[in-house]
């Protein structure tokens, strides 16, 4: 299973060398025990757009856009035909 989320950051990150994302998952084990699994992901920050583009994972970006698009497509199908553009 693959989960996807959008994050917006409102703080100024110019003085930060890295940013940390943390998510907690509450689940029940096969023995009926309730457990919390915490995931922490730290990423470096940069002010250079070129550096962001050069270090991006293109397959992950296309997969993410496809997942977001999959959610919205049925809404448009009820209203009008869809045309796809290649940028």
CB 60, CB 68: distance < 8 Å: no
* Chain centre distance of CA 75: 22
Query: Where along the chain do its domains lie?
Result: 18-79
pLDDT tens digits for range 61-87: 888 777 777 655 444 444 444 444 444
Positive/negative CA dihedral, 41, 2, 68, 87: positive
pLDDT tens digits for range 7-59: 777 888 888 888 888 889 899 989 999 999 999 989 888 888 888 888 888 88
Tell me what pLDDT residue 21 has. 87
Extract the tokens encoding 48.
């250079």
CB 19, CB 13: distance < 8 Å: yes
Tell me what pLDDT residue 4 has. 63
Tell me what pLDDT residue 28 has. 93
Helix (H) or strand (E) holding 70: helix 58-79
């Amino acid at each position: 299973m693959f989960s996807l989320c959008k994050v917006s950051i409102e703080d100024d990150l110019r003085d930060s060398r890295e940013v940390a994302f943390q998510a907690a998952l509450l689940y029940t084990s096969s023995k009926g025990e309730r457990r919390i699994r915490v995931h922490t992901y730290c990423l470096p920050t940069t002010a250079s757009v070129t550096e962001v583009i050069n270090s991006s994972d293109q397959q992950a970006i296309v997969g993410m856009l496809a997942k977001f698009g999959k959610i919205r497509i049925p809404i448009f199908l009820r209203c009008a035909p869809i045309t796809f553009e290649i940028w």
